[in-house]
Structure formats: C-alpha cells, structure tokens
C-alpha cells in the first residue's frame, strides 16, 4: 500500500481535536500532503440515516444483527448528521457497519488506494469480541477510511479501578457521582479534555501503520503504538513518553523514505 495524501474529516462538536495541529503533525511525521474536510456526514442522505440507525447495538452480549429502525431512530440520525453536538445519550454502533457507511460517503474519485481518509466522529463505535462474547467500545476502526471515535477514546480504555469501586459504593449510599468525578479529575480523559489532540496523534499513527504495514500496535508501553486497556496507560504512552519505541522509529523512517521515494 502507498499513501500520497491524507484527508481528515472534522468532528465540529469536539474543537479540542484541533485538526490544524493534527494536519501539521502528520505533515511533519510522514512528509505527506494533508487536507482538512468538513464532517463526513455533512452530505449524508436519508438512506445513510436509515443505514446508521440499523447498525445500532441493543444487546452487547450478542454478535451484530441488523436492526429494523423506527422512524424516530432514523430522525435521530438525521438530526445528528446535521448537528453532531445534538447527541446527549451515548448510542453504540457496530464499528464495521459504521465504517461501510463512511466508505460510501467518500467521493468516488477520491476513493483510491493512495488517498488515506480519516473520519472523526463523536458516535461510539464498538466491535464484538469473540474472546469474551461481547461488544466493546473502540477508539479506532483501522481501515481506509479509518474511523476515530472521540467518545471511544474517552469511554473505551478503562478508568482507574478505584474510580469504579468508589462509584459503586457511593451510589449504594445515594451519594453524588460528581464528587467522585472531582476526586479522580485528571487521572482519566474527560469530554473536552485539552490533551485530546495529542492523544489522537498516537491513534493517527496506528491508523497509518495499520494501512501500510498491517500491524498497528506495539507491545511496549514506551511507544505511541501501544494499545491501552487503561486510561493511565493511554496518558503514559501518548503524553509522558510521546514517541515511538526504537523498533518503530526505524520502521517509520523506512516508511517515510518509501512514501517519498
């Protein structure tokens, strides 16, 4: 696979993504042209809304089954396409079905293998895991186009164990959830967190490594390609370490040479 140009599709409800900064990061890292576009759903049709509503997940313990959407569910999707910030409750979607919808929204003449598309969305993409027989939220669906779910980045890697313990014991006593959130503030990523853009740089690298090498992840926490299970590991690899391990630095160097051959 080759890439000659990268397209980033904005999620306007999450200005902390800072697409200008991400475009600069990609240009500096891969020496490639980058173009910023409007939200990928800005041109979506009634049929796309219908398709989106039909890939909702209702039972996390069952593999994906196409849902027959109601009128209200289709209208909800139409509204969310028009104004992405109109989402109050988190809805789960099958990530692969979601990816197919986005793929069909890419202009045909730009749907070529050396154009790499990355669509940001605040919708929560999920995939069914055969190892524990349930759906999990995902921050990223690696493919071309790649989907990066801003809600997935926040909800998929787990918060500190103590946070859940406190939450459960306090809820049993009828106490306020906000006080728990305050206590753990800073230890996990929150909505509109200013660190989001830096964290997304790591996911963009994973997407490009996946496309070009088939292998997006690294086992080492000392690498931005590390796939975190915990929020603290996400911060560690992306913010504290903030670079690739030696092995992946070398792969990146070869990759950049190839891309600009």
Minimum CB separation of residue 214 from Zn ion in Å reads 15
- Both tokens assigned to 201: 């740089």
Say whether residue 208 binds Zn ion (CB under 5 A): no
Say whether residue 223 binds Zn ion (CB under 5 A): yes
Q: For Zn ion, which is the closer residue by CB, 86 or 247?
A: 247
C-alpha to C-alpha distance for 122 and 59, rounded to whole angstroms: 21
Are the CB atoms for 99 and 143 separated by under 8 Å? yes
Cβ-in-10-Å burial (0-12, 13-18, 19+) of 250 comes to: exposed
Q: For Zn ion, which is the closer residue by CB, 156 or 245?
A: 245
Q: For Zn ion, which is the closer residue by CB, 40 or 199?
A: 199
Query: Binding string to Zn ion for residues 240 to 259, with x set by CB under 5 A, is what?
Result: -----x--x-----------
Query: Binding string to Zn ion for residues 102 to 141, with x set by CB under 5 A, is what?
Result: ----------------------------------------
Q: For Zn ion, which is the closer residue by CB, 139 or 223?
A: 223
Residue 196 CB partners (closer than 8 Å, separation 6+): 14, 16, 17, 150, 153, 189
Minimum CB separation of residue 95 from Zn ion in Å reads 24
C-alpha to C-alpha distance for 145 and 204, rounded to whole angstroms: 12
SS3 state of residue 212: helix
- Both tokens assigned to 208: 């490009």
Q: For Zn ion, which is the closer residue by CB, 188 or 226?
A: 226
Residue numbers at the binding site for Zn ion (CB under 5 A): 218, 223, 225, 245, 248
């Amino acid at each position: 696979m080759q890439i000659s140009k990268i397209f980033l599709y904005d999620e306007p409800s999450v200005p902390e993504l800072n697409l200008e900064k991400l475009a600069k990061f990609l240009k500096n890292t891969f020496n490639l042209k980058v173009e910023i576009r409007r939200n990928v759903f800005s041109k979506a049709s009634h049929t796309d809304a219908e398709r989106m509503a039909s890939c909702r997940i209702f039972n996390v313990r069952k593999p994906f089954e196409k849902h027959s959407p109601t009128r209200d569910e289709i209208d909800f999707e139409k509204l969310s396409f028009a104004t992405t910030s109109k989402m109050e409750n988190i809805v789960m979607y099958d990530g692969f079905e979601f990816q197919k919808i986005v793929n069909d929204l890419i202009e045909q003449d730009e749907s070529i293998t050396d154009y790499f598309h990355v669509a940001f969305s605040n919708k929560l993409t999920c995939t069914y895991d055969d190892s524990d027989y349930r759906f999990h939220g995902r921050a990223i669906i690696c493919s071309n186009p790649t989907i990066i779910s801003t809600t997935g980045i926040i909800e998929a890697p787990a918060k500190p164990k103590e946070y859940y313990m406190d939450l459960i014991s306090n809820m049993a006593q009828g106490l306020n959830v906000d006080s728990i959130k305050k206590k753990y503030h800073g230890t996990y990523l929150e909505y509109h967190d200013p660190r989001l853009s830096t964290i997304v740089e790591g996911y963009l690298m994973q997407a490009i490594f996946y496309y070009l090498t088939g292998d997006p992840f690294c086992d080492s926490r000392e690498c931005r390609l590390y796939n975190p299970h915990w929020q603290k590991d996400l911060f560690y690899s992306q913010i504290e370490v903030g670079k690739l391990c030696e092995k992946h630095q070398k792969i990146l160097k070869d990759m950049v040479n190839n891309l600009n051959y």
